[in-house]
């Protein structure tokens, strides 16, 4: 029995694979070949459908003189779409993401593969950034699942409940301005914590999840339309709060002299179809994206290939 290596001398003339590309492609291949991951994607999709099915309109109380009225913001209107995507679904995406990105490197410790990988010639930057990019791709995949769920259900709501026809451009805009930055930030933060504190990976995931949920629910306390929190809150709850408040003001002004219930409802739908102003959130969310990338870079810089205590 001999080790008849095909490598002798040939490696010099053939090009070595790019370590970053290798890490990304193989990590994605690994994730794709695990049926459990597909189950999670499917479960998240079904969950999004159920959330939309369960909650596709929001009642908001309006006081008009002595008369109290609850108006419905419907899920496929311009205003309702942002409500649906941000308040209805982003909350759950943000809860799921730490469990995806937090495992990108910490998972190798848990699986005891770390020593095998770290004793190879794979450069540290290739390993860390490769895993980061792969985890971002998976996170984007989940964000895409969320988008698909909205795109699938909106026409159904339009046809079955006579909701307004969905505004696709607006849905995509909300997805790009609210969902993508949040995805990058939460994934990057989870990745950085999982990479730098692999032994506390589970704890950091729980902490991030709790932080995310409290940011959502804390929004009701802090988001009043003119605070820094409104613009910088990564949950984008400010988009919903500011535009709903604006809508209510406009609505109250518009229905001052309208007493017919039918007419008021029609007016409400008309006003909900006004495209919300998302522009104020673009700069702050770009900064949040940049912060996410910085966090991943910090993780790469402080990642220790040498570890005193292994396994």
Partner 1 sequence: MELQITNLSKRYDDKWALRDISLRCGRGMIGLVGPNGAGKTTLMRIIATLIPPTSGSVSWDGHDTRRAGQAVREVLGYLPQEFGLYGEFSGRQFLRYLAAIKGIPNELARARVDEVIELVNLEREADRQLSTYSGGMKQRIGIAQALLNDPELLIVDEPTAGLDPAERVRFRTLLASLTGSRLIILSTHVIGDVEAVANRIVILQGGQMIADTTPDTLLERATGNVWSLTTDSMTALHIQAAHQVSAMLQQADGITLRIVSTTSPHPNAVPIAPSLEDAYLLVVGKKSISI
Residues 6+ apart with CB under 8 A from 245: 225
CA angle 76, 175, 90 (to 5 degrees): 85
3-class SS letters over 115-152: HHHHCCCCCHHHHHHHHHHHHHHHHHHHHHHHHHHHHH
Nearer to partner 1 (CB atom), residue 279 or residue 309: 309
Q: How far is the CB of 253 from partner 1 (least distance, A)?
A: 59
Say how many residues make up the chain.
Answer: 311
C-alpha distances in Å from residue 3, one per residue of 6, 8, 116, 204: 9, 11, 21, 46
User: Which residue number, 66 or 119, has a Cβ lying nearer to partner 1?
Assistant: 119
User: Contact at 8 Å (CB) between 206 and 212?
Assistant: no
Which residues neighbour 99 within 8 Å (Cβ) at sequence distance 6 or greater?
190, 205
Residue closer to partner 1 (CB basis): 14 or 261: 14
SS3 11: coil
Question: Which spans of this chain sit near partner 1 (rule: CB under 8 A)?
Answer: 1-8, 10-11, 14-17, 19, 22-23, 25-26, 29-30, 33-34, 111-113, 115-123, 305-311
Give the span between the Cα atoms of 287 and 228, in whole angstroms: 14
Is 235 in contact with 215 (CB distance < 8 Å)? yes
In the complex, the smallest distance separating the C-beta of residue 114 from partner 1, rounded to whole angstroms, is: 9
Nearer to partner 1, 23 or 174 (CB): 23
User: Considering the complex, what minimum distance in angstroms separates the CB of residue 141 from partner 1?
Assistant: 17
CB of 240 to partner 1, least distance (A): 39
Minimum CB–partner distance for residue 297 and partner 1 (Å): 20
CB of 1 to partner 1, least distance (A): 6
Nearer to partner 1, 111 or 161 (CB): 111
Please, which residue, 138 or 170, has the CB nearer to partner 1?
138
């Amino acid at each position: 029995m001999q080790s008849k290596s095909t490598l002798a001398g040939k490696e010099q003339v053939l090009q070595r694979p790019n370590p970053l590309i290798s890490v990304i492609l193989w990590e994605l291949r690994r994730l794709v070949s695990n049926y459990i991951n597909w189950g999670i994607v499917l479960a998240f999709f079904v969950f999004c459908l159920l959330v939309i099915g369960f909650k596709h309109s929001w009642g908001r109380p309006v006081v008009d003189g002595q008369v109290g009225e609850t108006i419905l913001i419907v899920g496929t209107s311009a205003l309702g779409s942002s409500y649906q995507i941000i308040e209805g679904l982003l909350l759950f995406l943000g809860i799921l993401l730490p469990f995806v990105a937090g495992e990108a490197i910490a998972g190798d410790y848990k699986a005891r593969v770390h020593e095998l990988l770290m004793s190879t010639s794979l450069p540290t930057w290739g390993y860390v950034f490769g895993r980061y990019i792969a985890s971002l791709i998976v996170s984007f995949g989940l964000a895409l699942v969320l988008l698909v769920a909205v795109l699938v259900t909106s026409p159904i709501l339009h046809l079955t409940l006579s909701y307004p026809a969905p505004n696709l451009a607006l849905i995509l805009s909300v997805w790009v301005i609210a969902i993508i930055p949040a995805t990058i930030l939460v994934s990057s933060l989870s990745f950085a914590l999982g990479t730098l504190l692999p032994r506390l990976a589970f704890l950091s995931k729980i902490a991030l999840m709790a932080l995310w949920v409290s940011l959502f629910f804390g929004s009701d306390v802090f988001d009043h339309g003119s605070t820094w929190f409104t613009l910088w809150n990564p949950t984008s709850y400010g988009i919903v709060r500011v535009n709903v408040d604006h809508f209510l003001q406009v609505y109250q002004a518009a229905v001052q002299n309208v007493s017919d219930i039918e007419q008021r409802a029609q007016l409400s739908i008309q006003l909900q179809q006004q495209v919300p102003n998302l522009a104020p959130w673009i700069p702050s969310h770009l900064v949040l994206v940049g912060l996410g990338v910085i966090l991943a870079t910090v993780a790469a810089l402080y990642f220790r290939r040498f570890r005193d205590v292994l396994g």
